Amino acid sequence: MLYEEINIPDIIDIDIKHIKLDEKNPNKMTNEQLEVLKRNIQKYGFLVPIILNKDYIIIDGEHRYMAAEELGLTKVKGIILDVNDIDKSVIRQVMNKLKGTHDYNLDQDEIKFLLDELGKDGLMDITGLPETQIDSLLEGTNFEEIPNVCMKGEMTELNDVIIISLETEEQRQYIKDFFDLEQSRKSIKGDIAMSIIKSKVKEVGELVEDLHTDEE
């Protein structure tokens, strides 16, 4: 396809009161994550336009809209697309999920640089990264270097998402204590989270292997 044939939509100013939420949007954000997004908008500006259909229903950018509204903005940058419901859902899925993966070493270098410049509290405040993720990178625990540990339960890797389904009370308590979460089933995104899981499993390798042996 020639470059001239690719549509490059205009970015326009949109009155925030005309924007509508899509109740079918599966992408959710915690209050803590929304506060991080607001701090980023305050510091760097409204960088990414909201994508809407011709009825002003949000296709991508619901949380940017919510943050802008809470910050008192009356207008935001947006793109209006004349698309049907199928294309609306496709665009949303692509915008939410089609992302690259991090080079572990380069990611570690960048975290170290930001820590030197911002300090740990400053880095956590502006990025929303939990301290456990930062510490995992600093410890140099590389996903590829951690040996496989046999777990009783199910570990399924889907692209950049690991879903861990644990069957025993010991494992449920272990994950609950580590993440301070009640759920025994947790979907975790990203290479950093993968390295955390693998490193923590490695630390209790004997316990995990014993559980597996008992099952057999």
Domain total in the chain: 2
User: Using 50, 70 and 90 to split pLDDT, how confident is the model at 51?
Assistant: very high
Give the confidence band of 169 by pLDDT, cuts at 50, 70, 90: low
| CA distances for 7 relative to 47, 51, 81, 97, 168, angstroms | 21, 14, 11, 22, 53
One domain for residues 202 and 128: yes
Range from 5-9, 146-150, 177-181 that averages highest in pLDDT = 5-9
Query: Do 130 and 70 fall within a single domain?
Result: no
More confident position, 166 or 84: 84
If you write DSSP's letter for every residue of 170-186 in order, what string do you get? Answer: HHHHHHHHHHT-S-SEE
Nearest to 126 by CA among 206, 38, 210: 38
Weakest mean pLDDT among 48-62, 106-120, 194-208: 194-208
- Point out the domain boundary residue: 97, 116, 136: 97
> Of 97, 128, 146, which residue sits at a domain end?
97
Instruction: Judge whether residue 184 has pLDDT over 60.
Output: no
Q: Are residues 90 and 153 in the same domain?
A: no
- Report the distance separating Cα 67 and Cα 37, nearest Å: 7
91 and 121 fall within a common domain: no
| pLDDT tier for residue 152 given thresholds of 50, 70 and 90 | very low
Q: What is the mean pLDDT of residues 37-47?
A: 96
Q: For residue 58, is pLDDT > 70?
A: yes
Tell me the residue range of the domain where 73 lies.
3-97
pLDDT of residue 179: 52
Assign residue 47 the CATH number of its domain.
Answer: 3.90.1530.10
In 57-118, the DSSP E strands lie at 58-60, 75-81
| Banded model confidence at residue 7, pLDDT cuts 50, 70, 90 | confident
Asked if 195 and 143 touch (Cβ cutoff 8 Å), the reply is yes
| pLDDT, the chain, mean | 74
pLDDT of amino acid 151: 35
* Domain co-membership, 21 together with 67: yes
User: Which comes out higher in pLDDT, residue 3 or 192?
Assistant: 3
142 and 46 part of one domain: no
pTM of the model: 0.63
Average pLDDT over every residue of 38-60: 96
* Predicted local distance difference test score (pLDDT) of residue 82: 95
Among residues 55, 79, 97, which one ends one of the domains? 97
